[in-house]
Amino acid sequence: MPYGYTGKILRIDLTNRKSEIENQDDAFYRAYLGGRGMIAHYLLQEIPRGIDAFDPRNVLVFAAGPLTGAAVSGQGRNGIGAKSPLTNGFGNAEGGGYWGAELKRAGYDGIIVTGRAEKPAYVWLHDGAVEFRDAVHLWGKLVGETEDALRAELGDPSTSSGAIRTALIGPAGENRVRFAGIANDRTHYAGRNGLGAVMGSKNLKGIVVRAAPGKSQMQIANPAGVQALAKWMGANLDRVAGLHDHGTAGFLRSLHKSGGLPTYNFRDGQFDAHEKIDGRTMSATILVKQETCFACAVRCKRVVEVKESEHGSIDPLYGGPEYETIGAFGSMNGIDDLIAVAKANELCAAYGLDTISPGVTIAFAMECFERGIITTKETDGIELRFGNARGMLQMLRKIAYREGFGNVLAEGVARAAQIIGRGAEEFAMQVHGQEIPMHEPRLKMGLGLGYAISPTGADHNHNIHDTGYTKEGASVDGLRLLDPAIRPLPANELSADKARMVVAESNWMHLYDSAVMCMFLPYSKPQVTTLLNDVLGWELDAPGYARIGERAATLARVYNLREGWDARDDVLPKRFFNAFTSGPLAGTAVSQDALSAATQEYYRLMGWDETGAPTRARLRELNVEWGAER
């Protein structure tokens, strides 16, 4: 058995209610590692070309990484993948919490789900057994209600160490909302790309895992090395004190100050009422505690509680909003009511929704409403104007249940714009069908390039955040390990050198998502390299690990081209080519010509041709020439 792995992939056939073990060897893990790399392999190998994402032949992959379950901060994550119903391409998202670590302890590196259950079902993994159980009585329940019912049903009401761990969908996934997510342990979401809708299309309510007490089937090559890094993190928590104190919500104030806070559907870059909804205000008002993921000392997860408000109570069992949620439902919608934003977060968690996509989609609808493209006739009587918190919450409920105008918005902003017509497409903030996260390309232009070429549609995680690479220091030095030609560059420039920086950083982030690591820990690239070698017993250097990330990105690109993606869509919405008229970034816009040139340079550096297709020679260099035949 390889170090860092169990060597076992569990295959679940929902149609025939059967399971079997697939054994993998060291060569497989050296090629794909886990997470995104493993998902790219299985999606390209096993999903028939051109099928609909809701076809039973779509494959749903749950993939841990070699570090998942290691007793060091940042290793509580797992990847999930399938053909995306949102982008019609490579679908992948990551979730934190404890479920992934429990899966490894139970003896599996991943799960491959095929087929469709005849009626709602869940899968119960425990003590080496795989049980298929009916979930008709759970269908329609909220995520929290479902978890409570499962704990009672399985005789495990505890939420302490050793308890069952759940990966569940809510009504949004059941109703095939195209941006439905999958909840790990109620509050940790694999939110993007609509993978919860794929799970719903398979009549799969959840996968519940409980490993045998005190057992772990994962071996580590150098436990002392892993322990040393865990101690280092414990001694350096001051480096992430802001994350502990305010979570990612603490970023909102600085982004407003820089002029890069997405506001009014990306029309503006500053929100005058930002202090009413930022992380510091949340910490001082509705925050009741911090929670964490498996073995992580940072404890960055927000937990909020409101016992009474005009928007109702807010249950702390659903955690609390992070930066992306506050940006999407706050500044993007022009809403300065923190309790309304926290309520939106609770509803998304309960319904099983990504928070970025519905926030962006509702902001799009608000702009269309204010421009007269839609009226109360289309919006079921709701005055869907910027700042209308009550209207936002009403529409969120309608989206989850596909009621009225919510049925249109549940299709995602790209499809909704096509349905509405009348010029609405201009205000749909998306790339390749996925709604744009809360990071402004006119502030971070390399990130804009990253949006355009991302294999999952617009994404901020496997991307570069240019503001961290504007001067000499540890960040730039780390990139030089991957490409010695890297040099500091202004955040709001887009050149061939910036494309080089995007290649280096994004391949490394694809490595992160294959290892499946949290991106918020202050580990250097040498520390990550050492950690991987300590766990795996390998002797790769940083460029060697980055090559694994490049392999994952390249196979995802091959999959997308096979499914009809076109390089002509590797672009940004027109709004970003228009300059801000006020604020710190007044006069700043992304140049369409510069973006096109940088995209071509990215293709060249990745070994892709001018159409964005990986060449057979590069596939051969990456030892995945088989991808050319798929």
The CATH number of the domain holding residue 573 is 1.10.599.10
Q: Is residue 231 part of a domain?
A: no
367 shares its domain with 452: no
48 shares its domain with 161: yes
Q: Among 372, 398, 428, give the residue marking a domain's end.
A: 428
Predicted confidence (pLDDT) at residue 578 exceeds the cutoff of 80:
yes
354 shares its domain with 453: no
180 shares its domain with 77: yes
Q: Which helix (H) or strand (E) holds 111?
A: strand 110-114
Predicted confidence (pLDDT) at residue 98 exceeds the cutoff of 50:
yes
Say what the pLDDT of residue 553 is.
Answer: 98
Q: Is residue 233 part of a domain?
A: no
Q: Is residue 62 part of a domain?
A: yes
Range of the domain at 423: 242-428
Q: Is residue 516 part of a domain?
A: yes
Q: Is residue 423 part of a domain?
A: yes
Say what the pLDDT of residue 241 is.
Answer: 83
The answer to whether the predicted template modeling score (pTM) of the entire model surpasses 0.95 is yes
Q: Is residue 235 part of a domain?
A: no
Q: Which helix (H) or strand (E) holds 134?
A: strand 129-134
In this prediction, residues 584-592 reach a mean pLDDT of 97
Contact 86, 193 (CB under 8 A): yes
Say what the pLDDT of residue 172 is.
Answer: 98
pLDDT in tens, 224-282: 999 999 999 999 989 888 888 888 988 999 999 999 999 999 999 999 999 999 999 99
Predicted confidence (pLDDT) at residue 612 exceeds the cutoff of 80:
yes
Q: Is residue 533 part of a domain?
A: no
When the pLDDT of each residue in the chain is averaged and rounded to a whole number, the result is: 96
204 shares its domain with 266: no
Predicted confidence (pLDDT) at residue 160 exceeds the cutoff of 60:
no
Predicted confidence (pLDDT) at residue 433 exceeds the cutoff of 90:
yes
Domain with 202 in it: what CATH number? Answer: 3.60.9.10
As a 3-state breakdown, the chain gives helix, strand, coil percent values, each rounded to 5, of 45, 15, 45
193 shares its domain with 298: no
Strand intervals (E) in 163-316: 165-168, 182-184, 188-190, 204-210, 287-291, 301-304
314 shares its domain with 385: yes
Number of domains in the chain: 3
333 shares its domain with 378: yes
Say what the pLDDT of residue 157 is.
Answer: 63
124 shares its domain with 39: yes
pLDDT in tens, 36-47: 999 999 999 999
Q: Among 399, 428, 457, give the residue marking a domain's end.
A: 428
Q: Among 377, 397, 428, give the residue marking a domain's end.
A: 428
Predicted confidence (pLDDT) at residue 214 exceeds the cutoff of 90:
no
92 shares its domain with 169: yes
Q: What percent of the chain has pLDDT over 70?
A: 98
482 shares its domain with 576: yes
Q: Is residue 495 part of a domain?
A: yes
Sort strands 78-83 and 165-168 into parallel, antiparallel or unpaired.
Answer: unpaired
Domain with 320 in it: what CATH number? Answer: 1.10.569.10
Q: In angstroms, what CA-CA distances link 542 with 502, 505, 526, 532, 538?
A: 16, 12, 7, 10, 12
Say what the pLDDT of residue 243 is.
Answer: 87
In this prediction, residues 360-378 reach a mean pLDDT of 98
423 shares its domain with 450: no
In this prediction, residues 392-408 reach a mean pLDDT of 98
In this prediction, residues 204-225 reach a mean pLDDT of 87
Which 3 state secondary structure label does DSSP give 61?
strand
| CB count in 10 Å sphere of residue 375 | 12
Say what the pLDDT of residue 545 is.
Answer: 98
Predicted confidence (pLDDT) at residue 68 exceeds the cutoff of 90:
yes
pLDDT in tens, 128-145: 899 999 999 999 999 999
